[in-house]
Structure 1
Amino acid sequence: MTSSPVTLDGRGSRIAQHEYDALLGEVTRWVRGPGEEWADRIEQTGTVPAELFDELKTHGYLSMAAPPELGGRGLSFPQWMGLMEVFSRSHASIRMLVHVLNGTWRAINPHVTAEQRDRFVRPMVAGDLLAAFTLTEPGNGTGADLTCTVRCEGDVYLLNGRKHLITFGVSCDVWLLFARLAGTTGKDGVVALLVDRHAPGVQVDDTSQTMGVRGTDHASLTFTDTPVPVDRRVGAEGDGLAIALGGFLTPSRISVAMSCVGLAERAQELAVEYATSRVTFGKPIAARQAIAFMIAENEADIQAAKQLVLHAAREWEADAADAATLSSMAKMTAVDMLTRVTDKALQVHGGVGYWKTSTIERVYRDARAQRFEEGTNEIQKTVVARDVFAKARERKSL
């Protein structure tokens, strides 16, 4: 069921409220039940089992945000954010899977040919093809200063350069990779390519030993004259940066911001449970003003960030001009909130929270990743400040 025409990035799709409420309840039960069991297994083994991926796929949790015509569930973006909030209370690798699989298709679908849509987009939505977003490079930022290059020889691009911090870069089927045409500068020379994971001339270094988000693999990639067929280019030459920033990063930053909200809610839940059960001098520590004030501050912090994230989600769905700036505002606000909340939640637990036997220890480690996922807070502040000053110049010129 849709309430308006659906765009190629999924805007306009929506399911009925009663259907959404039932789905929200289902996901909540899964996160609290099987999701916690999977979390324990991931922490023990350091890997995400293939059976978990299959279970998420079977439940349809990897294809909820896409419109029905692509094989998705057809949730609106704010509806999807409501479910992202719940998934983020689970293990960080579970959140990462549903976040990436429900978002990567959106970046390329407006730009692909009909043949590419059948070959790549529909399998992405179905969970049959895992695409790793491959933008970040070790020697520069993650924008128009890319140094990974391609040169065209006939019907093939030859790719050279390095990428790093690539989530799912080891286990993916394709890299959704951004490079520049050799000899060009600026955004107009950037191309988007779907590079086969097993293409020749690629060195894949597994860099998965991280502080948190255990189980999710990460890679450093080196390309040496790696051949990429021209028919695997997404959009036209010069469209790459728009695909990366507008098609993926803007909604993805909002999604990461909501993941901060969900994880903060989990930290708060654990803090409240501990504060009401831990007794000192004949009273639960929840009765101590110092503890109660930390809980109160956390609750207000979470709710304030959540409302900004939802506002950004609605503005992105409406294709508002300030959606990109709001996505950066939402992420930087939610990340700072998560840092404060998890720190206080761990403090409520005292020394007990420092041990790996406490769930809050895992939550505290996982929370650190969001501070650089989809761009550091310093990048988000740069985006917001640039917009503020641009608007000030416009007002001055009126």
Structure 2
Amino acid sequence: MAATSTMEHQAPGGREGRIDRREFEQILGQVTAWVDGPGEAWSEEIERSGHVPRELFEEIRRHGFLGLAAPVELGGRGLGFTQWMRLIEEFSRSHASIRMLVHVINGTWRSMNPHATPAQRERFVRPSVAGDLLIAFTLTEPGNGTGADLTSRVRRDGDTYYLTGRKHLITFGAHCDYWLLFARLEGSTGSDGTVALLVARDSPGVTVEDTSDTMGVRGTDHASLTFVNTPVPVAHRLGEEGDGLAIALGGFLTPSRISVAMSCVGLAERAQQLAVDYARGRVTFGKPIASRQAIAFMIADNEAEIEAARALTMHAARQWEDGSDRASALSSMAKLTAVDMLTRVTDRALQIHGGSGYWKTAPIERVYRDARAQRFEEGTNEIQRTVIARDVLARADQARPIEEAGA
């Protein structure tokens, strides 16, 4: 991709700068070499053991992969968002748990930093970017959606909040250092009473249930959490009372959805690579099956769909980087399109492998399982359609009010 000279964006979506082309290409080469070399070996180890070894996390941290997207002043490399998307595409060709680590840690700072005090920035944000603290984004609840219907609640007594409630499907929730947790003030309704808190993993009154035994994305820990009068210092609150949902959704959700869309692109590229390699090597009746029109057409369809999804995702990334007010809707379009693309591409790739692709000894089997998780990460397709339709209808109302349209 083309990188420009270093520049700063002041629009809401584009706080990061951009590094120059030569430096970016060097980083891209390092990431690609790691994904194709050590990353592949680690992927096999994760599948064997069912967990991400601490040594892998330390290796990723030493390479600086956990702070690539963060600004230089926070200890990151200062990549622009579109540049970061190119790297996410590469990481996503690797194991899903490796992609999850770099995706989450390179994004959590976006929620925290705009609302952090200088002291909080030094205590939480910079150590997170450096990989010295693992902070788990903790929004989803078992009986609610992920918006103003939060029921986890806090009551304030002096300089301490007391937290009661439940969270589930929390990535890195079992082994993190802090939960970046969203709740509401006791007795409040709607978004006005929501708060964002950094809750220490060893706080009293917390029950952690490890729920990491998943279909795919093996190795990434997930947890269900129960809090009963858990004390949280008021000094650990980001922003003001009432800012909780804005912190959760405003600086995190849109770029994260774009990142998940690009993760779909990268994983689809891996599936396509495996399908092409297999089709070229598998011989029937004296010919590689790649020469069969049925197989060639599946490969062609895959390639066209991957390129289309990638183009839309990069368009959404550029709009976010430039602070466009359409970035949110475009992030949902990209995620919706890329998820559906990935479903079809991995299904065709597995079909090209025939029965041999169904065995765990075949790399496509893991890719197929990992792809399914993208269908609900950062919101289901049904949620994405709701966001898109709301944007389309709002713009239509602005252009031509209903009264006028019906006249």
In the superposition, the TM-score normalised over structure 1's length comes to 0.98
1:208 pairs with one of 204, 212, 222: 212
Instruction: Among all aligned residue pairs of Structure 1 and Structure 2, give the percentage whose two residues are the same amino acid.
Output: 72
State the match for 1:299 in structure 2.
303
What per-residue deviation string (whole Å, max 9, x for no partner) do you get for residues 101-153 of structure 1? 10001111001101100010000110101110000000010111111111111
State the match for 2:260 in structure 1.
256
State the match for 1:39 in structure 2.
43
Q: Give, in angstroms, the shift of residue 297 of structure 1.
A: 0.3
2:228 pairs with one of 215, 224, 227: 224
State the match for 1:3 in structure 2.
7
Q: Give, in angstroms, the shift of residue 2 of structure 1.
A: 3.0
1:337 pairs with one of 336, 341, 348: 341
Please say if residues 65 and 73 of structure 1, whose CA atoms lie closer than 8 Å, have aligned partners that are also in contact.
yes
State the match for 2:144 in structure 1.
140
Is 1:60 aligned with 2:68? no
Matches of 1:234 and 1:252, distance apart in 2: 20
Matches of 1:313 and 1:84, distance apart in 2: 12
Is 1:129 aligned with 2:136? no
Matches of 1:390 and 1:35, distance apart in 2: 45
Please say if residues 11 and 318 of structure 1, whose CA atoms lie closer than 8 Å, have aligned partners that are also in contact.
no
What per-residue deviation string (whole Å, max 9, x for no partner) do you get for residues 220-258 of structure 1? 000000011001000011111111111111111110110
Structure 1, unaligned stretches of length 5 or more?
none
What per-residue deviation string (whole Å, max 9, x for no partner) do you get for residues 32-73 of structure 1? 000000000000000100000000000000000001111001
SS in 2 for 1:360: helix
State the match for 2:112 in structure 1.
108
Matches of 1:227 and 1:64, distance apart in 2: 34
SS in 2 for 1:371: coil
Structure 2, unaligned stretches of length 5 or more?
none
Matches of 2:95 and 2:353, distance apart in 1: 20
Q: Give, in angstroms, the shift of residue 190 of structure 1.
A: 1.0
Q: Give, in angstroms, the shift of residue 8 of structure 1.
A: 9.1
State the match for 2:78 in structure 1.
74
Please say if residues 216 and 372 of structure 2, whose CA atoms lie closer than 8 Å, have aligned partners that are also in contact.
yes
Please say if residues 5 and 13 of structure 1, whose CA atoms lie closer than 8 Å, have aligned partners that are also in contact.
yes
Matches of 1:383 and 1:186, distance apart in 2: 19
State the match for 1:194 in structure 2.
198
User: Amino acid of the residue matched to residue 61 of structure 1?
Assistant: F
Matches of 2:164 and 2:14, distance apart in 1: 33
Matches of 1:243 and 1:311, distance apart in 2: 24
User: Amino acid of the residue matched to residue 256 of structure 2?
Assistant: S
Matches of 1:169 and 1:136, distance apart in 2: 11
Tell me how large the CA RMSD over aligned residues is: 1.2
What per-residue deviation string (whole Å, max 9, x for no partner) do you get for residues 58-111 of structure 1? 000000000111100110000000000000000000000000110001111001
Please say if residues 103 and 248 of structure 1, whose CA atoms lie closer than 8 Å, have aligned partners that are also in contact.
yes
Q: Give, in angstroms, the shift of residue 11 of structure 1.
A: 2.1
Residue 234 to residue 8, structure 1, CA distance change in 2 (3 Å): farther
Please say if residues 9 and 107 of structure 1, whose CA atoms lie closer than 8 Å, have aligned partners that are also in contact.
no
1:280 pairs with one of 251, 271, 284: 284
The worse-fitting range, judged by mean Cα deviation, of 75-84 and 237-246 is 237-246
Q: Give, in angstroms, the shift of residue 317 of structure 1.
A: 1.0
Matches of 1:326 and 1:54, distance apart in 2: 35
User: Amino acid of the residue matched to residue 345 of structure 2?
Assistant: V
In the superposition, the TM-score normalised over structure 2's length comes to 0.96
Please say if residues 325 and 387 of structure 1, whose CA atoms lie closer than 8 Å, have aligned partners that are also in contact.
yes
Matches of 1:302 and 1:246, distance apart in 2: 28
Spell out structure 1 runs of 4+ moving beyond 3 A.
Answer: 5-10
User: Amino acid of the residue matched to residue 145 of structure 1?
Assistant: D
Matches of 1:182 and 1:388, distance apart in 2: 36
User: Amino acid of the residue matched to residue 273 of structure 1?
Assistant: D
User: Amino acid of the residue matched to residue 118 of structure 1?
Assistant: E
Q: Give, in angstroms, the shift of residue 4 of structure 1.
A: 2.4
Please say if residues 144 and 241 of structure 1, whose CA atoms lie closer than 8 Å, have aligned partners that are also in contact.
yes
User: Amino acid of the residue matched to residue 284 of structure 1?
Assistant: P
User: Amino acid of the residue matched to residue 315 of structure 1?
Assistant: Q
Please say if residues 31 and 87 of structure 2, whose CA atoms lie closer than 8 Å, have aligned partners that are also in contact.
yes
The worse-fitting range, judged by mean Cα deviation, of 18-27 and 78-87 is 18-27
Residue 5 to residue 326, structure 1, CA distance change in 2 (3 Å): closer
2:269 pairs with one of 265, 269, 278: 265
Aligned residues: 398
Q: Give, in angstroms, the shift of residue 187 of structure 1.
A: 1.1
Residue 72 to residue 298, structure 1, CA distance change in 2 (3 Å): same
2:168 pairs with one of 164, 167, 191: 164
Please say if residues 9 and 321 of structure 2, whose CA atoms lie closer than 8 Å, have aligned partners that are also in contact.
no
Is 1:366 aligned with 2:366? no
